[in-house]
Amino acid sequence: MGVAATSFLVFAASQVGSPGPANMALLTSGAQFGFRRSLPFMSGVVLGKQLIIWPLGFGLLGLGASAPWALDLLKWVSVAVIFWIAWRIAHLRMRPSTETGRPFNFLLGLLIHPVNPKAWAMITAGFTSFVSAGTPTLQATFTIAICLLAAQVVFHPIWILGGDRIAKTVAGTAAEQYLMWTLAALTVASVLVALFGGGKAT
């Protein structure tokens, strides 16, 4: 009994560090508002994943067996919200000064992972692939939660910093519009891959 914590931590790092809706939003926030003003949003993104982990660990997966339509409904509502976020990213423009404009806030950050199909897929894989049969629910859920939290604390700031550096290069140039549309397209593509191609990155 137990959780293959080391193996799952490696898996979590590879997934949390790779492109997906959450990281595209963090990159965009860094580009639009700078590192410091993006920290409340990042805090929401980090905590928002916990809103999936604990319900999944304590029985939400069982809902899929008893009422599969409920998870299907949740899936398509999630897709609609992610598409809305992508639309917002596409229409944002970077500013040479990050002291203007209204940044993404903590509450929007909380929403990112609960409506992110890739996050659901990754966490589900954690419980089904790295937890031994008979492991106490609290032990399994706590271990998955801590490993993902650690990976997020390391990798999410890197994506914000990347956006901040990109903004200093392309803000106000002809490349800016194309970059924002590319980020929006990658956000949509990452969700489609999760739904139809089995991807698990966050």
**Rounded to an integer, what distance in angstroms lies between the CA atom of residue 181 and that of residue 125?**
31
Contact 94, 170 (CB under 8 A): yes
pLDDT for 103 beyond 60? yes
- What does the pLDDT look like over 40-75, one tens digit per residue? 999 999 999 999 999 888 876 566 557 667 656 766
- pLDDT higher than 90, residue 118: no
| C-alpha dist (Å) from residue 134 to 3, 108, 114, 129 | 10, 37, 27, 13
What is the domain partition of the chain in residue ranges? 5-196
Question: What digits encode the pLDDT tens for the residues 158-192?
Answer: 999 988 888 778 767 777 778 778 877 876 776 66
pLDDT range class, residue 109, cuts 50, 70, 90:
very high
* pLDDT (average), residues 113-141: 82
**What does the pLDDT read at residue 177?**
77
| pLDDT over 50 (residue 84) | yes
- Stretch 22-39: mean pLDDT, rounded? 89
Q: Is the pLDDT of residue 157 over 90?
A: yes
The pLDDT of residue 97: 46
Higher-pLDDT residue of 125 and 30 is 30
The predicted structure's pLDDT at residue 72: 67
Compare 169 and 82 and report the one with higher pLDDT.
Answer: 169
Q: Mean of the pLDDT values across residues 113-128? A: 81
